Structure 1
Amino acid sequence: MRAAQIAGLVALPPFAALAEAWPTQQVSAPSGQALILHEWLNEQNPWSGESQIIIRLLAPTIGAAGVDDTALRADMDWACDRWGRTIAQAASATTGQIVIEMMAAPTPRGTPTPEINRFYETYSLAGDACIWELF
């Protein structure tokens, strides 16, 4: 869901809670990396059948020299804690996973683009906590 589309949904429950919680402009992750909302999707996992929330963030410096894997992982944990839980709780009580995708440039979901750096992490929810799952 594009940032512009969120503005139209935030007035509709249960998405009203997302108005202040979701970024519509650039924000700084704990590492200082700039993140911009690209979209979020509620999909069905094709293998498990569970509902999953996909949060797609633009991270223009991802994969560049100087951005280490530890900082990237911490930024993804932070994104899940900050937005993943809110989206999952508002979208579906049966969400099984939250997938955080950070990409250097916009790219269609599911389309191979080897020239664009993309990183993924998956999380499950345990109460109010995002629990990292091996992707």
Structure 2
Amino acid sequence: MTDPAVNEAALVVPSGQAVRFVEVVMNAPGPEGLVARFRFVAPAIAKDGGGISYDVAALDMEHLCNSFALPRIASTGPVPSQIIISFADRDVPFGEASPDATQFFEAYRIEGDACIWEAF
């Protein structure tokens, strides 16, 4: 599920890096049931892309879970058991391997109106 207006806009994140929404995937269940996977392109996480480290990107991913993903799941139907936020330095098709791409993933459970980090 994509929103063309959102896809074209860079999103504001705490680090200031440019992040672009790609899609949300909800048809690939996780071990605990329904999962909403929000996928973003974040070119600055590339090994040669500007030095955004995982620790910095993790703060951006948590921010996007709370400010971007949570407001959108209320209108998607059943509430997922988990939200996964993924960053890739380039647009990588869901489920495809891309050894040259830098990718970061974080998982969150929904607790009230907040995303709570869960270790993979």
The alignment's TM-score, normalised by the length of structure 2, stands at 0.87
How far apart are the structure 2 equivalents of 1:41 and 1:47? Answer: 15
Number of residue-to-residue matches in the alignment = 118
Unaligned 5+ residue runs, structure 1? 8-21
Of the structure 1 ranges 36-45 and 101-110, higher mean CA displacement relative to structure 2 is found in 36-45
How far apart are the structure 1 equivalents of 2:42 and 2:106? Answer: 14
Aligned-residue CA RMSD (Å): 1.8
1:36 matches 2:24: no
1:2 equivalent in structure 2 = 2
SS of the equivalent of 2:96 reads: coil
1:57 equivalent in structure 2 = 40
Q: Which of 95, 106, 109 is the matching residue for 2:94?
A: 109
1:98 equivalent in structure 2 = 83
Higher helix share: 1
Q: Deviations over 1:56-79 (max 9, x none)?
A: 001011143521222111000001
SS of the equivalent of 1:61 reads: helix
SS of the equivalent of 1:85 reads: helix
The alignment's TM-score, normalised by the length of structure 1, stands at 0.78
